[in-house]
Chains A and B, each alone.
Chain A
Amino acid sequence: DGGITQSPKYLFRKEGQNVTLSCEQNLNHDAMYWYRQDPGQGLRLIYYSQIVNDFQKGDIAEGYSVSREKKESFPLTVTSAQKNPTAFYLCASSIREYGNQPQHFGDGTRLSIL
């Protein structure tokens, strides 16, 4: 079955450490997205990519970095510059060209600070 796979499901970060969250999709979607979700809040867009080797900052990009070297992969790195990284991170993908196409989501990675 086609879908989006996020790993790991749970991740712990030590102070000053960078960690990378994996997101892989086999839906042949051009666009991919990273969101952050905090308790009781909606989703905030971190980064998005419409095509391989190109990506744009979302609303809260500071302290995060991404790469898009392959169509199916869009890893997110939470750097030590992100001072409050504890959150639930969601990856999504969609067909790029049509505005009525929904985004498909992975099951998320929960990041906590040790």
Chain B
Amino acid sequence: GDSVTQMEGPVTLSEEAFLTINCTYTATGYPSLFWYVQYPGEGLQLLLKATKADDKGSNKGFEATYRKETTSFHLEKGSVQVSDSAVYFCALRGTDKLIFGTGTRLQVFP
């Protein structure tokens, strides 16, 4: 069945460092892909999405490119801030529901 695999965390970075969080997927067809962010004690917020191969989603300095050939949707940011500390979830749209990865915790220190 469809599935999403994310790199395990926590990812610990200093402020202004470059961020990559890896996400790969297994699916039939070409599902829409999403990154969600969860701040402590809150629900999930949509960060960005891509609906077809080679699409690049971007928001708040974060980017991810839908790579069909490597079945990947890695999240990147050129310069992280302390306020980016959160848990990040990769997800794909299956039939009638979203399928989530297990989440990657990002900790950014000043």
Interface residues of chain A, those whose CB is within 8 Å of chain B, are 4, 6, 31, 33, 41-43, 45, 48, 50, 56, 58, 90, 92, 99-100, 102-108
Which residues 74-99 of B have a CB within 8 angstroms of A?
89, 93, 96-98
Write the nearest CB–CB distance from B17 to chain A, whole angstroms. Answer: 23
Number of B residues, CB within 8 Å of A: 21
Q: Which residues of A contact B58 (CB under 8 A)?
A: none
The secondary structure that dominates the A interface is: strand
Complex: chain B residue closest to A33, CB-CB: B97
Residue of A33, A41, A107 near B42 (CB, 8 A) is: A107
Report the minimal beta-carbon distance from A47 to chain B, rounded to whole angstroms: 11
Instruction: Compute how far the CA of A106 lies from the CA of B51 in the bound complex, rounded to whole angstroms.
Output: 24
Q: What residues of chain B lie closer than 8 Å to A4, measured between beta carbons?
A: 43
Docked CA distance A45–B82 (Å): 31
Give Cα A6 to B96, complex, Å.
22
Tell me, rounded to whole Å, the shortest Cβ–Cβ distance linking B49 to chain A: 6
Residues of B within 8 A of A48 (CB): 96-97
Q: Are B103 and A108 in contact (CB under 8 A)?
A: no
The 9 closest A-B pairs by CB, nearest first: A105-B43, A42-B102, A100-B51, A100-B32, A105-B44, A102-B46, A43-B100, A107-B43, A42-B100
Name the CB-closest residue of A to B30. Answer: A99
Query: A41-B102, A42-B103 are contacts. A99–B43 as well, Cβ < 8 Å?
Result: no
- Could you list 25 A-B pairs, sorted by A, with CB under 8 Å? A6-B43, A41-B102, A41-B103, A42-B89, A42-B101, A42-B102, A43-B44, A45-B97, A56-B96, A58-B97, A90-B43, A92-B44, A99-B32, A99-B93, A100-B32, A100-B49, A102-B46, A103-B98, A104-B46, A105-B43, A105-B44, A105-B45, A107-B43, A108-B41, A108-B42
